[in-house]
Each structure stands twice: as structure tokens, then as C-alpha cells.
Structure 1
Amino acid sequence: MIVIERRHRIKELLLKERSVKVADLVREFNVSEETVRRDLNQLEKEGLIVKNYGGAVLSDDLQVAFNQIPPVQQRKFELFEEKDAIGAAAASLVEDKQIVILDSGSTTWCVARHLNTLKELTIVTNGVNIADECANSEGTEIFLLGGKLIKKSMSIVGPQAEADMHKYNADYVFLGTSGISLKKGCTSSDPYEAEIKRVMIETAQQVVIVADHSKFNRQALLSFSSFDKVDMLITSDLVEPAILQAIEAQGVKVIVVPVGGTIG
């Protein structure tokens, strides 16, 4: 792992845990204590941390700012390299002038950020974070569903959102998931979000699930799709191959993005 990748991973750990210990980082990255201390010195110069005995904590300014960010925005920083690689692979499927549905979430946000180079796209979404990201592309037309806002995920759900969604047809729908299990398929922890995902699946020609490795062998509250309704699954090589083979056996095309050599 090169220096910039290691320091980015340390930043991710700090954003998630709020503190790190030198001894833990030595074990995590298999480097010397001197190397870790150089990394922390640099992060302190950047104003990101305050060093203490045996480690470092996130700076007070960042602590305050981070606590004011909605959870979906915080999740952008978790497993970012993996999610971003998945997002890039998903976006590569899309062509100019196509219609794309994106649900809210951190991995679908990574898909959105890689769509910004395409021309004359139409984006339909229930994610405020997604609409905000897609607004960076001047030629993209954006339709944001109406309904109830769930603040922690910045997603719009409910009967109005579902009725709005039924009006659209799309080339692709990209969906995140709280969990994937061989028994229950794709699952969500929120009943309203599960329902809007079901409606989104009905409106697209190609249904694509985007999920980092942490989502596998997890089963959230409600199933929103069995594998027979999913055309593609895009994930990383951090997922156990046997699990992906079992999903492929159910008719899903699995795209595996190589990230194992650059994370952790």
C-alpha cells in the first residue's frame, strides 16, 4: 500500500471511530511505528487530528462539523475506495442520453459522481444527496420524487414517491442494499425504503444492485427483491467467491471490481 492510500485509510478510520492508536495502525498496515507516526504528523499538519499519548483523535472542529452531517453523508467516507470503484464500474454501463434511476445511499452516490461525464442523461431519484451530486453536470436532467424525507438517509419515500415513480420508465436502476443473503435476497432496514425500491425495480429494463463486501451474509428487516428480479450485481473482490458463485447460479450477472490489493 502506497503512502497516500494508507493515509486515506487512516482518515477513514478516524471519521468512523473518531480516534486511532499507533499500535493498532502498525498491525493494520504491517508497517513500523515510525512510519505510522510520520503519517500522524502529516495529518496533524493538515489540521485533521490532534495527537495524544499512543495515538490521535479527530480535531475538535472536525468533530463538530461531522456531527452535523446527516448519516448518509457520513457513510460516503466509509469503505470509500471500494464503493467508488463499484460506482465507477456501474456508471460504465450507462451511455449518453439514457434514463437512469438511482435510489439514495452512499454507494449509489458513488455511481452518480461517475455519471457526470455523460451527456444528456435523465436521472430519476428519491435521494436528495443524489440529486445534489447530479446537479454538477450541466447537461443532465434531474427528476426528484416527492414525498416524506427521511433525514438520516436523505431519501424521499411514501405513497407520493411511489406514485411518482410509477410514471417513469428507465434503462437502468441502480439500487443499494442494507444486506444480501442467499436465503432472502436483497434486504432493507426501513419499510418505506424497501417499498420504493420495489417500485423502482418495476420501472427499469436493467436492475443493478451495487454493494460493498460488508453487505453480504447480512439480513435486514425486509426483503425488497429476490435474485430472480436482479439482472446484475456489482461488488468487489473482498467478497467470498463462493457466495458470488451461488448468486450467479440464480441467474444474476456478477461483476467483481478488484480492490483487495489497495484496501486494508
Structure 2
Amino acid sequence: MTRHERWNALLELLAEAGQLTVEETASRMGVSAATIRRDFDQLAQQQMLTRTRGGAVVQSVSYDLPLRYKSARHAPEKQRIAAATAELVKPGSVIGLNGGTTTSEVARALATRADLHADGTAPGVTIVTNALNIGNELAVRPHVKIVLTGGVPRPQSYELTGPLATGIFDHVTLDVAILGVYGIAVDHGATCHNEGEADINRIMAERAERIVIVADGSKVGRRAFAKICDTARIDVLVTDSTVPQPAVDAFTEAGIEVIRT
């Protein structure tokens, strides 16, 4: 296990437990106590946790980890979700993409779709995004037209938020909004941690003819602080095979097409 993978696992354990001791963490992760002490110290320096005598406790940021710490979590599932989602996009479409690990994978899947390269005279797809990392990755793809919003970036997600981010949607319309979320539940709709991100995601959804939610199984049935949209507004949920059939049936009964990869 690399240090990056160990830190991901450690932060997930801490988010679940609320507090950890050096000894129990070392035992659960199969490394030395000295290694865990160094990990706790380095993560505390990055304000990812609060160091205590003999252990560590969570900080609020631990529940909204920066993108670089989330990228390895459920990676195979997210790649399969992204491939299935990319197949829903028609050539020539205008797509809204918010930030996050799953939507970043969707962007990569769209960038490599062969049929979007067919006509060199026009973009194969137009992507409107508030995610700096997606804009950076796709800016070099000649068949993808990138429209990047303004705004102030959040270091946790690389998403641009605020009035400068939302203003662009007064001037554009979208065929499809593909949104990554922290939680999606039949009773609560689509949600995320940050109200600024929720604002731009909600406006993106309002400007789209169709709304596609991409979420691995760990997000299904969960809810977070800030609401993006009601369940009734969602057209498609693309998720993975870990979602149990009763949960799929509940979304289907609510009028949502569910694609499990």
C-alpha cells in the first residue's frame, strides 16, 4: 500500500469512527505505530485532522476531502460508470459537467469516444463546466469545445463557485447536465456538502433538458447538507452493481431510469 492509499484509508476510518488511536490504527492497517504517528502529524499539518495525545480526531473537512484524496476511492466502479454515461451523449450535444472524481472520469471517457472525432470542422461535443481540472484536461482536445465558468475555486473539489460562476448560465442552454453528487436518495433528491457548489449545480440542472446523476454505490441512499435538485427532476441515475435491487426499484418507481454497471 502506497502512502497515498494509506492516507485515503486512514481518513475514511477516521470519518467513520470520529477518533482513532495510534495503536488501533496501526493494527487495523497493518503498519507500525511510528508510521501512523508520522501520517497523523503530516495530515494534521494539512488540516485534514486534529492531532490528540495518542491519536487523532476528525475535523469538519474530513467529511469533504480534497479531490486528490478521493480519486482512488471506488476507482474501477467510477470508470465503469463513466463509460456507460459517455454512451448516453449524442455527438454535437452541449453537456454540463460539475466537479468531482466521477465526473472527471466521464470527461475522460467523452474525450476518448471515437465517434466524437469524426467531423474535424465542428466540435464533437461542447462541455460547460465549473471544474478547473476538467477544463485543464480537455482544453487540448480539438474535438471538445470547453466553456469554463468564472468564479472562485474551492480547493476540495477544484470547482468554481459564486456569482461569477452562475452568471454564465443566463446565456447558455444545455442538452444534458451530468452531475456528480455526495448523496442521492428517493426522499431527499441529489445533495452535496457545499451550498456554493449546490447553487451552481442546481442552476446547471435548471438549464438542461435532461439530468443524469452519476454516483457509485456508496453515495446511493445518502444525503448531505446542500440540496441540488428533487428526485422528480432527475431522469437517469448511473451507478454500480453494489446498489441492491430494492433501492433500484425505489428509484424506478420514482420515474428514474437506473443504469447499473
TM-score tier after normalising by the smaller chain length: 0.7 to 0.9
Q: Structure 1 residues 95, 182: CA separation in 2 closer, same or farther (over 3 Å shift)?
A: closer
What is residue 232 of structure 1 aligned with on the other side?
236
1:136 and 1:14 map into 2 onto residues whose CA distance is: 33
Deviation string 1:18-55 (CA, Å, 9 cap, x unpaired) is: 69x99969xxxxxxxxxxxxxxxxxxxxxxxxx9669x
| Unpaired stretches in structure 1, ≥5 consecutive residues | 1-6, 26-50, 258-264
SS in 2 for 1:220: coil
Shift, 1:102, TM fit: 0.3
Deviation string 1:163-222 (CA, Å, 9 cap, x unpaired) is: 112311122110011111221111121111111111101111211000011112211112
* 1:88 maps to amino acid: A
Question: 1:64-83 maps to which residues of 2 (within 5 A)?
Answer: 71-83=66-78
Of residues 88, 96, 99 in structure 1, which corresponds to 2:91?
A: 96
SS in 2 for 1:234: strand
Of residues 116, 124, 127 in structure 1, which corresponds to 2:128?
A: 124
Q: Is the 8 A contact 1:248 1:254 kept in 2?
A: yes
2:180 and 2:31 map into 1 onto residues whose CA distance is: 38
Q: Is the 8 A contact 2:187 2:231 kept in 1?
A: no
Shift, 1:231, TM fit: 0.8
What is residue 242 of structure 1 aligned with on the other side?
246
* 2:127 maps to amino acid: I
Is 1:17 aligned to 2:9, yes or no? yes
Is 1:217 aligned to 2:206, yes or no? no
SS in 2 for 1:214: coil
Q: Structure 1 residues 24, 197: CA separation in 2 closer, same or farther (over 3 Å shift)?
A: same
Is 1:107 aligned to 2:102, yes or no? yes
Q: Structure 1 residues 12, 152: CA separation in 2 closer, same or farther (over 3 Å shift)?
A: closer
Deviation string 1:44-75 (CA, Å, 9 cap, x unpaired) is: xxxxxxx9669x98x99xx89xx7xx811321
2:77 and 2:5 map into 1 onto residues whose CA distance is: 14
SS in 2 for 1:115: helix
Shift, 1:17, TM fit: 2.5
* 1:241 maps to amino acid: Q
What is residue 61 of structure 2 aligned with on the other side?
none
Identity within the alignment, %: 32
1:99 and 1:176 map into 2 onto residues whose CA distance is: 17
Runs (4+) of structure 1 exceeding 6 A deviation are 21-25
Q: Is the 8 A contact 2:4 2:69 kept in 1?
A: no
Q: Is the 8 A contact 1:12 1:79 kept in 2?
A: no
SS in 2 for 1:124: strand
Question: 1:127-142 maps to which residues of 2 (within 5 A)?
Answer: 127-142=131-146
Q: Is the 8 A contact 1:109 1:133 kept in 2?
A: no
Shift, 1:140, TM fit: 1.2
Q: Is the 8 A contact 2:5 2:72 kept in 1?
A: no
What is residue 170 of structure 2 aligned with on the other side?
166
Superposed CA RMSD in Å reads: 3.2
* 1:14 maps to amino acid: R
Q: Structure 1 residues 12, 218: CA separation in 2 closer, same or farther (over 3 Å shift)?
A: farther
1:95 and 1:14 map into 2 onto residues whose CA distance is: 40
Is 1:181 aligned to 2:185, yes or no? yes
Q: Structure 1 residues 128, 231: CA separation in 2 closer, same or farther (over 3 Å shift)?
A: same
Of residues 242, 253, 257 in structure 1, which corresponds to 2:257?
A: 253
Q: Is the 8 A contact 1:15 1:77 kept in 2?
A: no
1:14 and 1:199 map into 2 onto residues whose CA distance is: 37
Q: Is the 8 A contact 2:216 2:239 kept in 1?
A: yes
What is residue 198 of structure 2 aligned with on the other side?
194
